């Protein structure tokens, strides 16, 4: 890395297109350092596994969105800019809260996502998977994300919550606007549409409850004042977005990793019992969440040789941490037989992903069935031409063209 680049690192398209390589340089040379975020604000980026794990569980780092917003306002470098507008209408969710509010909200949904509860969804997930594979079978070449990796998790999470299927394409558009680099106007438009849609849906569930998670949450609100109306809308938003924006990329990134490494693909085809471990390896190697959501220090925090002052934003790179050679030997290599457990792809500490059992189940079914169904599956583009999404949150491809036969 040359001197100029070392002085100012911007999380821009260049960074996202070359994230593993740039992360490796940072982890070796400056494992805790300031970077410039896409909208011009500075934050501290943490790239080592041990530091990442410690900080994810450190209560001196807060996620309280009200305090974060105030901090944002004071720190904005672009005149006239305000904090991301969607944070007002949809932000009252647990990923933006510290205890005790976080604890209260998380308790309401924990039970719906335990491994045994989620296991009951297996037949339905298999059925959706088969239908999508049947639809694909008529084509020779498809974008695997649009045809398969996206519709599967969005259908599952919408059915679980009780969201009608006619809204799914809109949701895809709105949520990618909110997660990728977008203008404040685009964000305001998408978040307004989403908040309005969810508010109306919740009103319908209140009038006519159905057998789904959203009706159960409406009921909890009405019974015990467990959630405010804004918390209810925000919870629905969080579950919908977190429930599909991530799993789509676990499937997409996992398939890409396999198609780039024919030896590993052959090993997995020869022994399907390797699949659960292989899914952990995909999570480790191509972590679908690039950086954990923004935290800020409430007091000075020492991390190795560096001290992060109070009231600074902190970004923890899960992708970089999961490729730390102090934790995993030969970390940039896909190895479907590796013991990849302990990776940080689902986070760590109190915000550890509530949907991890669901994501794992979906990915095992999806990738397992895809490989069985299409023994000739291969990439339909040179790997170097594939583009990643420009997002500090999502590490996922824009498209994944594949040949089926």
What residues make contact with ligand HEM under the rule CB under 6 A?
A: 94-95, 106, 113, 157, 238-239, 242-243, 246-247, 250, 288-289, 292-293, 318, 345-347, 351, 353-355, 358-359
* CA distance linking residue 42 with residue 57, whole number of Å: 22
- Beta strand pairing status for 306-308 and 295-297? unpaired
How far out from the chain centre does Cα 219 lie?
28
Output the smallest distance, CB 6 to ligand HEM, in A.
27
* Residue nearest ligand HEM by beta-carbon distance: 355
Cβ–Cβ under 8 Å, residues 374 and 2: no
Output the smallest distance, CB 105 to ligand HEM, in A.
8
Cβ closest to ligand HEM, residue 27 vs residue 290: 290
Radius of gyration of the chain (CA): 21
Q: Which residues, 6+ apart, have CB-to-CB distance to 134 below 8 Å?
A: none
Output the smallest distance, CB 178 to ligand HEM, in A.
15
Output the smallest distance, CB 181 to ligand HEM, in A.
18
Output the smallest distance, CB 108 to ligand HEM, in A.
11
Cis amide bond preceding 100, omega within 30: yes
Cβ closest to ligand HEM, residue 8 vs residue 117: 117
Cβ closest to ligand HEM, residue 227 vs residue 292: 292
Output the smallest distance, CB 241 to ligand HEM, in A.
9
Cβ closest to ligand HEM, residue 358 vs residue 370: 358
Cβ closest to ligand HEM, residue 301 vs residue 345: 345
- Beta strand pairing status for 42-46 and 313-316? parallel
Estimate the share of the chain in helix, then strand, then coil, as percent rounded to the nearest 5: 55, 10, 35
Nearest Cα residue to 337 out of 287, 286, 273:
273
Cβ closest to ligand HEM, residue 41 vs residue 354: 354
């Amino acid at each position: 890395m040359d001197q100029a680049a070392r002085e100012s690192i911007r999380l821009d398209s260049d960074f996202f297109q070359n994230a593993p390589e740039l992360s490796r340089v940072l982890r070796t040379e400056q494992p805790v350092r300031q970077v410039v975020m896409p909208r011009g604000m500075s934050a501290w980026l943490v790239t080592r596994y041990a530091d990442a794990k410690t900080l994810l569980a450190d209560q001196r780092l807060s996620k309280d969105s009200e305090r974060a917003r105030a901090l944002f306002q004071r720190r904005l470098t672009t005149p006239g800019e305000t904090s991301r507008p969607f944070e007002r209408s949809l932000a009252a969710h647990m990923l933006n809260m510290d205890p005790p509010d976080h604890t209260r909200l998380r308790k309401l949904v924990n039970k719906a996502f335990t491994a045994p509860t989620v296991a009951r969804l297996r037949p339905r997930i298999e059925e959706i998977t088969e239908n999508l594979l049947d639809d694909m079978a008529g084509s020779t070449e498809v974008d695997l994300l649009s045809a398969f990796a996206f519709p599967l998790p969005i259908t599952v999470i919408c059915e679980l919550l009780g969201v009608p299927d006619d809204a799914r394409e809109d949701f895809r558009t709105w949520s990618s606007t909110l997660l990728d680099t977008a203008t404040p106007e685009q964000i305001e438009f998408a978040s307004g549409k989403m908040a309005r849609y969810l508010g109306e849906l919740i009103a319908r569930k209140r009038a006519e409850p159905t057998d789904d998670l959203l009706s159960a949450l409406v009921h909890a609100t009405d019974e015990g004042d467990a959630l405010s109306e804004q918390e209810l809308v925000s919870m629905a938003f969080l579950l919908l977005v977190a429930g599909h924006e991530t799993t789509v990329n676990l499937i997409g990134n996992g398939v890409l990793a396999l198609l780039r490494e024919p030896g590993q693909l052959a090993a997995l085809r020869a022994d399907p019992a390797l699949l659960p471990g292989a899914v952990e390896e995909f999570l480790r190697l191509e972590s679908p969440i690039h950086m954990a959501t923004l935290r800020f220090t409430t007091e000075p925090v020492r991390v190795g040789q560096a001290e992060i002052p109070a009231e600074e934003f902190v970004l923890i790179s899960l992708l970089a941490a999961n490729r730390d050679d102090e934790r995993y030997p030969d970390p940039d290599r896909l190895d479907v037989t590796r013991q990849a457990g302990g990776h940080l792809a689902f986070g760590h500490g109190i915000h550890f992903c509530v949907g991890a059992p669901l994501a794992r189940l979906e990915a095992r079914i999806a990738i397992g069935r895809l490989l069985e169904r299409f023994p000739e599956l291969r990439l339909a583009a040179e790997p170097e031409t594939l583009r990643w999404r420009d997002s500090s949150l999502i590490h996922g491809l824009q498209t994944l063209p594949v040949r089926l036969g």
